[in-house]
Amino acid sequence: MTDPSGAPVGALGAILRRGAAMSAVALVLVQVISLAQTLVLARLLSPTEVGLFAAGTVLATFLATFAEGALTQALIQRGDADLDDAADTVFWVTLGTGLLMSLVTLAAAPLVGMAFGASVAGTIAAVTSGTMVLHAVTNVPDALMQRRFDFRRRLIIDPATVLTFAVVAVVFAALGFGVWSLVAGSYAQMTVWVVASWGLAGWRPGRGRPSVRLWREMAGFAFPLLLGSAVERIRDAVELVVVGRVLNTASLGFYRYARRIALLPGTAVIQAGAFVLFPAFSRIADDPERLRQAFLRALTWIWLAALPLAGLLVASGESLAVLLLGEPWRPAGVGLTAMAGFGLGQAMNAVTAEVLKGTGMSRRLNRLTGVGVFSGIGLLLVLVPFGLFGVGLAMSGASLAVGLTGLWSVRDVVGVSFPELSGRLLPPLVAAAVAVATVAVLERTVIRAVTWPLPIGLGLVLAEALLLGLLYVGALRVIAPAVGSAVIGAIAGVVRR
């Protein structure tokens, strides 16, 4: 088998293909459940109730970053010699910080209510503070499974937790519990996560000896990752506060659901492959040519897959949101269309960040962190007067800026030049632009899927997606024949299997 450039695929390629295939199976199941849950809850809960839950959990989501401290990433990257000691060290440190962050959230809950001008948000913050302790308990088992390419983490745990949240949240919402149905779903989800993670990982604390020395070593590697995650959570929190205060709580609900749908293209592509990239890059970090080929192969395929998925949001995003969520959620569709670039930035960052971590160059991630926070908050403040469409554009712009910065930061690590990167990225981008422009014009002038009854409308959006894909592959065959042939071959292989 070859990649789009004609280079042979070796053992790493076999690992990536197997992992991507297994992750894709799990991802389809997870996304179907998640989407169904989103659609049902959109009809059982109001945008304001969804917005209150987003506001109430913003602090816990942010502080959970500090509880984990990126030490699990250091555990995945570490060698085998002292793995048991390292695992015990990470477990006790993250459990302690998880408990501490839970108490901080409980104490700061009234401030959350004040920040959003809603006392209910503060109450939700207090009640959900305990989820951080449950999450901390899953850190080491999950990391060890990823480290040894144990795909049961994707095939069993992810679907089980998403299904649990969906069932509990929908049942409680149907019984009239409102926003508290989401709180109940969160606790049920975390409980199943803990049980499944410990049951499948086969790991228990006590096999090694915790060590301050090991903690300091791993903390040195993890600090740039922690900083990046913390800044990202700060940016997310600022977005929530700005949207909630400058616009209103209902807009916060629209934003939350638009963002959830906008994440699907990036998640669909990244989760199918990136789960194995970090441990795989860590294993070949000392082989420059093998690392270079693996990087280019992963970047090319993730980029090829991300473009048409993001393009569909541009062409049909508003109609899709209204058809799925209902007419009251139309503003979410407007924001969704503007968030299309978010997945493209994620696609680039998914590969570059994993290479930097796998090669021990985690400090270079500070560049991405700086660009992300300044571009994200800066663009948000400039564009929020334009409503949810402006918020979506700010998200897209910041994500693309981080993705491009990642490519700049990794070029000398993997030994690639900008002309080589441009040759991989620009032809698919042009092909996607041609396909998206064609479908967008048809949607807005002829098809107008949102004006049809739900089954017909969804069928029309599906037809638009198929047309976009055909136009995209056809344009690739003209603009970059080798790449187009590789894509057609890959699709044919999937169909045969």
Per-residue pLDDT for 6 more than 50?
no
Query: For residues 169 and 370, what is the distance between their CA atoms, to the nearest angstrom?
Result: 37
Is 228:369 a contact under the CB 8 Å cutoff?
yes
Per-residue pLDDT for 62 more than 70?
yes
> Residue 3 has what pLDDT?
45
Query: For residues 75 and 45, what is the distance between their CA atoms, to the nearest angstrom?
Result: 40
Contacts of residue 376, defined as CB under 8 A and 6 or more positions apart, other chains included, come to: 235, 238, 239, 394, 395, 398
Confidence of residue 267 (pLDDT cuts 50, 70, 90): low
Confidence of residue 472 (pLDDT cuts 50, 70, 90): very high
| Range in 84-93, 94-103, 115-124 with the lowest mean pLDDT | 115-124
| Range in 16-20, 327-331, 450-454 with the lowest mean pLDDT | 16-20
| Range in 130-134, 363-367, 439-443, 458-462 with the lowest mean pLDDT | 363-367
Cβ neighbour number for residue 105 with a 10 Å cutoff: 24
Confidence of residue 81 (pLDDT cuts 50, 70, 90): confident
Of the candidates 101, 57, 23, the one whose C-alpha atom is nearest the C-alpha of residue 189 is 57
Q: What are the distances in angstroms from CA 431 to CA 306, 316, 340, 422, 473?
A: 13, 18, 16, 14, 8
User: pLDDT tens digits for 34-58?
Assistant: 878 887 888 888 888 888 888 888 8
The full set of domain ranges for the chain reads 1-43+248-497, 45-240
Q: What is the mean pLDDT of the chain?
A: 83
Mean predicted confidence (pLDDT) in 467-487: 89
- Residue 285: what are its φ and ψ, rounded to 5°? -60, -25
Confidence of residue 325 (pLDDT cuts 50, 70, 90): confident
What share of the chain in percent tops pLDDT 70?
90
Of the candidates 338, 318, 339, 341, the one whose C-alpha atom is nearest the C-alpha of residue 330 is 318
Cβ neighbour number for residue 81 with a 10 Å cutoff: 8
Confidence of residue 329 (pLDDT cuts 50, 70, 90): confident
Query: For residues 187 and 128, what is the distance between their CA atoms, to the nearest angstrom?
Result: 8
